[in-house]
């Protein structure tokens, strides 16, 4: 089977979608599929695209427009034309758009032009945010309605999609935990290979931890939807009971103009000496950072299928998370983790305190979460789910093509065809 994936992110760029796309593509390639990934790159539109090899996957890094909501139309047209020319050489069986706009939009057009089935994958913010935009709602609806089937990373997003568009089939495929993507070794060893500024930061953090206070941590690039402001307020209150606690952010602030605001707020709340922010971290190092955190906190206002939470589960870390879609799909309160209402700093504080004050509960939740990640959220199950989606899309296309042939037959030819069948 030959598959063309069109995505908004792919490593070495950072982001949960890029990590998930790479994992899905590599694991499908291991099953014998010929996978080509069309990804955003740094080229200008007059520079030829040169495919690169990524552990069984052919990656075509194109132009920056594919990585943003408001893509340059010249670049997007060039990407679409490139995909169609690539199809003439490869003869793809189907096209798969990961993220609805613009990657799904480009993929849907290309699939339409070459008459191949198209799969649209909802990843989270593409539907949560863009469906409220007068500029994008029509595009989102059109992409969904071109799809042979639609996938989503959680149930609630799929139900929302059904309310704004009509499509034949929908599947829920959450993200999973894949331990092989992480480097082995502890944090102290891994940071030795980094630039000197990062080594100094890592040593400073480890020195602070050695004093014995608990480390509260969160993973990911901080945006409004991640609820970081509520975590700051919760941590300030936590210091009353645990004055030696540290707050670790493994990631960075990515919203334009907001980093200065957040750093000023951290200073105003008196948290500067207790707060550590890594900046961009290689994804292969995330496990090592997770193992330095006593309580992982995910204070999100919205989620798709949170990689950070699933990775915390896979590493057996106890966590406090908000009861939002994408989280409640995979976590049961006091079974795998401690869940609290979103937008509630007081509830976050109480949740963190409940775990810090009860070592037995921390151990129980960590063990149960790790078991669930290994058994229910494994790469093997994810790969089989995608293979089923692809097979169903091809079968649906075959049925449609056969029906069109039959519909266009003169009545006497139709009778002969039925008798032969």
Residue 159 belongs to what H/E stretch? helix 155-164
Which top CATH class is 2-176? Answer: alpha beta
**Does this chain's domain 2-176 share its CATH topology with 179-376?**
yes
Segment 194-222, tens digit of pLDDT? 888 888 999 999 998 998 899 999 998 88
Q: Residue 72's pLDDT is what?
A: 87
| Interatomic CA distance for residues 65 and 84, integer angstroms | 18
Residue 420 pLDDT exceeds 50: no
Segment 30-86, tens digit of pLDDT? 999 999 999 999 988 788 999 999 999 999 999 999 998 777 899 999 999 999 999
Positive or negative torsion for Cα 254, 255, 256, 261: negative
Mean pLDDT taken over the chain: 91
| Interatomic CA distance for residues 332 and 336, integer angstroms | 6
- Give the β-pairing of 57-61 and 52-54: antiparallel
Q: Residue 185's pLDDT is what?
A: 85
Does residue 282 contact residue 11 with C-beta atoms inside 8 Å?
A: no
Q: Band of the pLDDT at 408, cuts 50, 70, 90? A: low
pTM of the model: 0.88
Domain extents for the chain? 2-176, 179-376
User: What is the arithmetic mean of pLDDT over 265-288?
Assistant: 91
Does residue 116 contact residue 92 with C-beta atoms inside 8 Å?
A: yes
Q: For residue 102, what is the DSSP state?
A: I
Which top CATH class is 179-376? Answer: alpha beta
Alpha helix (H) ranges present in 59-120? Answer: 73-90, 105-114
More confident residue, 149 or 15: 149
Residue 238 φ/ψ, nearest 5 degrees: -65, -30
Segment 359-382, tens digit of pLDDT? 999 999 999 999 999 999 999 999
Alpha helix (H) ranges present in 317-378? Answer: 345-356, 359-376
Q: Residue 253's pLDDT is what?
A: 83
Q: For residue 224, what is the DSSP state?
A: G
Residue 38 belongs to what H/E stretch? strand 34-39
- For the record, the structure tokens of 351 come out as 């949740």
């Amino acid at each position: 089977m030959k598959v063309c994936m069109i995505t908004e992110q792919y490593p070495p760029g950072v982001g949960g979608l890029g990590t998930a796309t790479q994992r899905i593509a590599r694991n499908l390639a291991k099953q014998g599929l010929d996978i080509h990934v069309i990804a955003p790159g740094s080229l200008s539109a007059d520079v030829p695209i040169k495919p690169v090899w990524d552990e069984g996957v052919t990656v075509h890094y194109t132009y920056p427009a594919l990585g943003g909501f408001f893509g340059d139309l010249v670049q997007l047209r060039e990407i679409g034309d490139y995909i169609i020319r690539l199809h003439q050489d490869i003869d793809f069986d189907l096209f798969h758009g990961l993220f609805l706009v613009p990657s799904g939009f480009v993929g849907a057009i290309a699939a339409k032009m070459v008459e191949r089935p198209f799969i649209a994958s909802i990843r989270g913010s593409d539907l949560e945010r863009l469906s409220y935009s007068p500029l994008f709602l029509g595009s989102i609806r059109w992409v969904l309605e071109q799809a042979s089937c639609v996938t989503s990373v959680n149930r609630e997003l799929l139900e929302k999609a059904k309310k704004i568009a009509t499509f034949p089939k929908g599947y829920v495929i959450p993200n999973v935990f894949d331990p092989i993507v992480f480097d082995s070794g502890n944090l102290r060893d891994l940071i030795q290979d980094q630039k000197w500024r990062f080594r100094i930061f890592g040593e400073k953090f480890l020195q602070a931890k050695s004093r014995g206070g608990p480390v509260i941590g969160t993973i990911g690039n901080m945006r409004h939807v991640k609820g970081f402001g509520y975590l700051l307020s919760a941590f300030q209150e936590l210091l009353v009971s645990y004055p030696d606690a540290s707050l670790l952010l493994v990631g960075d602030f990515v919203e334009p103009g907001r980093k200065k605001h957040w750093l000023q707020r951290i200073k105003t709340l008196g948290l500067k000496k207790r707060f550590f922010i890594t900046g961009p971290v290689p994804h292969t190092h995330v496990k090592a950072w997770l193992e330095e955190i006593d309580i992982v906190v995910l204070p999100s206002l919205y989620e798709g299928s949170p990689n950070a939470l699933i990775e915390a589960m896979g590493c057996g870390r106890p966590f406090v998370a908000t009861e939002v879609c994408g989280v409640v799909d995979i976590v049961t309160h006091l079974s795998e983790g401690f869940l609290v209402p979103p937008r509630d700093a007081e509830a976050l504080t109480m949740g963190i305190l409940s775990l810090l004050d009860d070592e037995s509960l921390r151990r129980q939740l960590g063990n149960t979460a790790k078991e669930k990640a290994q058994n229910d959220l494994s790469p093997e199950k994810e790969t089989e789910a995608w293979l089923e989606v692809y097979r169903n899309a091809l079968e649906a296309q075959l049925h449609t093509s056969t029906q069109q042939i039959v519909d266009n037959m003169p009545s006497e030819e139709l009778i002969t065809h039925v008798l032969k069948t």
